[in-house]
Structures are given as structure tokens and as C-alpha cells.
Amino acid sequence: MSALVLFSGGQDSAVCLAWALARFDRVETIGFDYGQRHRVELEVRRTFLGKLAATYGPAVTRLGRDHLLDLSVLGAISDTAMTQETEIAFNASGLPNTFVPGRNLLFLTFAAAVAYRRGIKHLVTGVCETDYSGYPDCRDDTIKALQVAVNLGTESRFVIDTPLMWIDKAATWAMADDLGGNPLVDLIVEDTHTCYLGDRTQRHSWGYGCGTCPACELRSAGYRKWVEGP
């Protein structure tokens, strides 16, 4: 039983990585450099992976190879606040301009290509449609449709696992605590990155970030709800 986790360096994918390590015998990770504005996430993901085995027991024997793919072409064709120095705002469709069209579709397709070569069946991604920014490629229907397309196109039986799909950010923090206790939560706070602006100068109780972008607001609100309880 093996899995390939789409690990960006952010909170959600870090929790998914811990989730996968608790369930699969062999776990590999994959990240993507697409010219993201918050490319500091690519730096912190290396730090996180380097520290994980000392913090989380299952990683000692189960964490395997990391893959980092160059998808700069995605950034080159995207005119969004995630790839350009543009003020974050909402467009006429109601979506924030941080939405990068096709991003998760490409990520999962490339992950499937790597998994095919590596003999891995499960793809694990941290997409969620319960407590998110409204991105259509994070929805359950999208993921199910993509799983069908990838399996037909590769004559395979990949399973795309989405452990966060139906939970909010508070429950994501709780999942991290359930999986690895304070050491894992502390590692996520210190060595993951979610802020769209790439701000690592401001340290909050929930981690680093500007504190005002949509990603920071979701992460901070979830942390506060988890700490304070219902």
C-alpha cells in the first residue's frame, strides 16, 4: 500500500501527509514550482520534510522520495494574484483572483504520471469544499470526475484521497493534533506556509503570514475555533 501526497508546504497538505503516513506503508511526496507569488512555500516544504521524522513516528520508516516538478508554464499563462504582483480582489464571477485556472487539474494529472511510473496507487490531496476560497477545482465533483478521466487515460485504478474534503479548518487542526499531538501541531505552525503574499516576517499563534489575505484569514479563524472550542 503506497501513496503519493501532493505536498505544497502548506498547512492542509502537511496534515494530509501525516494522515497518509499513518495509513500507508510507503509515502512519497510531490510539489510544484509554477511561479507562485508565495514561492517561499517551496523553501519551507524542504524544512518540514527534513524535520518530520524527528517529530512524527510513522515518517521514520514510511516517508520516501520527494519529487519537485517545474510547471512554470502554468504561471506564464496565468494572470492571477497568485502568480503576479496584483492586489487580491474578487472578479465578476465571484471568485477571488487568486484562483489559478487548471492548477489542481494539472497537479493531479502530473502526480498520476509520476505515481504510474513509481507503482503507486493512491494520490492524496488537501482540497476541500467546506472551508475554502470557492475554487471550483477543489470541489468533490471535480475530483471524482478527474479520477475517472485519469484512470481511463492511463488504464489504471488510481484512488484520489481527499481527507479534508468535508471538514473545516478547525477540524484540520484537530486532525493534526489527533495524529501527532503537540509536536506535529508545533511543526505545522513553525514550518508550513499558507499566506498568499509569502510573508514570513509576521509570526502569529497559528503560524507565519500577513494575517489579512484569504488564506491567512481561513487559517487563523480555524486555529482560533479549534483552540477555543465550540
pLDDT digits 0-9 by tens, 47-59: 999 999 999 999 9
Q: Which domains are delineated in the chain? A: 2-228 (3.40.50.620)
pLDDT of residue 86: 66
Q: How far apart are CA 117 and CA 104, in angstroms?
A: 20
Helix (H) or strand (E) holding 75: helix 72-77
The helix, strand and coil proportions of the chain, stated in percent and rounded to the nearest 5, come to 45, 15, 40
pLDDT digits 0-9 by tens, 161-201: 999 999 999 999 999 999 999 999 999 999 999 998 889 99
172 phi and psi angles, rounded to 5 deg: -65, -45
Global confidence as pTM: 0.91
pLDDT of residue 38: 73
Q: How far apart are CA 82 and CA 96, in angstroms?
A: 10
pLDDT of residue 95: 65
Give the residues of the chain that fall short of pLDDT 50: none
